Structure 1
């Protein structure tokens, strides 16, 4: 089985046993159009979709906006935490001066306030994650026609996710070209009206 596999691999790589040491043969001229921007002509292309988003102007804008909002939420959380800790200390100090039933009412109200505040802050955090997901979807929708054009320019039938491909030539990796085309076509994703 292994002996049959080696010639098959060599044949797929364009190497024929006995001819491996010969000088390369010039390829016949074809009427295939030259790829745009110095790209590659291949039926299969690969792309790193994470890098496509994060390195594009659109993705960088979204990342900056989400980071700013996340920092604001973290600051708000720290302020709320400090206020709740102060309120808890004050409540603890009053405990010795109160009847147990009175203290229990105040303690239960405080616990309820803490739980409500946690839920509100968690909802704000989820909203940030959802906003990021929506922006990614918006990006992919805007990117689809650009990537389709890149496929046509490269005579490709498919673009595969780079991280899902076991082995490939770096020649068919077109993330940088796709980022340049996307930056040109959609920029940051904001319109003049925004």
Structure 2
């Protein structure tokens, strides 16, 4: 037995999730689509975060994000090492250079450092933007799967698991949703994906 009690947050979730789920094909009366032997439950609960991290599709998206982050981190280390070497070389040359020549070289180096920093920050923003868009695609796909599970359970709405104060474990559909996602979607490799990478907007020149 788990915690129960429905408050304003729970009610808001029910109003926002149920119409979205039924729009994906669960518009018939829920009891008409009940699986044999299934007890109708007016509300079911879902751990949205566990659905994402526990499903093969969500895990594939997380692995993709981690791979991109590691690639960017390796690139950052390579750039930092190159800039550190250039800085040492410039410092070593300083005694042999005229002040104006050294100042010009130092300004050029500082400009390169700033350009690299801005470029890498733009790449990082693009990575997280792609991941955010992937999360939205995951939500769209998950809503269709959740609509199926709702119809089979005769549920009217899905409630956020954290909104429950006390309740029976049987009302939670997270494991069932993960299993259905894995069955129907797998790791998402066969789903349509954006063909063009997301590029960060270029700020206007000052």
Tell me if TM exceeds 0.5: yes
Matches of 1:175 and 1:37, distance apart in 2 = 20
Relative to the length of structure 1, the TM-score reads 0.76
The residue that corresponds to 1:144 in the other structure is 143
Deviations 1:2-32 (A, max 9, x none): xxxxxxx9xxxxxxxxxxxxxxxxxxxxxx7
Asked if 1:156 corresponds to 2:145, the answer is: no
1:99 maps to 98
Q: Could you say which residue in structure 1 is the equivalent of 2:60?
A: 61
Once residues 116 and 191 of structure 1 are traced to their aligned partners in structure 2, the CA distance between those partners, rounded to angstroms, is: 38
- Distance in 1 of aligned mates of 2:102 and 2:84: 17
Computing the radius of gyration from Cα coordinates, the structure with the larger value is 1
Higher relative contact order (CA 8 A, sep 6+): 2
Name the stretch that deviates more: 101-110 or 157-166.
157-166
CA contact (8 A) 2:34 2:151 kept: no
Q: Post-superposition shift, 1:34?
A: 10
1:110 alignment partner in structure 2: 109
Distance 1:129 1:193, change over 3 A: closer
Deviations 1:150-177 (A, max 9, x none): 1111111111121243443322111110
TM-score by length of structure 2 reads: 0.72
- Partner SS state of residue 61, structure 1: helix
Q: Which moved more, 1:117-126 or 1:34-43?
A: 34-43
Residue 84 (structure 1) aligns with: 83
The Cα shift of 1:35 comes to 6.0
Give the whole-Å Cα distance in 2 for the aligned partners of 1:37 and 1:94.
83
1:72-116 residue CA offsets vs partner (Å, 9 max, x unmatched): 111111111111001011111111111211111111111111111
Instruction: Count the aligned residue pairs.
Output: 164
* Alignment partner, residue 19 of structure 2: none
Residue 157 to residue 193, structure 1, CA distance change in 2 (3 Å): closer
CA 1:120/1:36 → structure 2, altered by over 3 Å: closer, same or farther?
Answer: farther
Contact 1:77 1:121 in 2 (8 A): yes
Q: Give, in whole Å, the separation in 1 of the partners of 2:189 and 2:73.
A: 26
Partner Cα distance (2:134, 2:192) in 1: 17
Q: Distance in 1 between matches of 2:34 and 2:101?
A: 79
Given the superposition, is the C-alpha separation of residues 110 and 141 from structure 1 closer, same or farther in structure 2, using an over 3 Å criterion? same
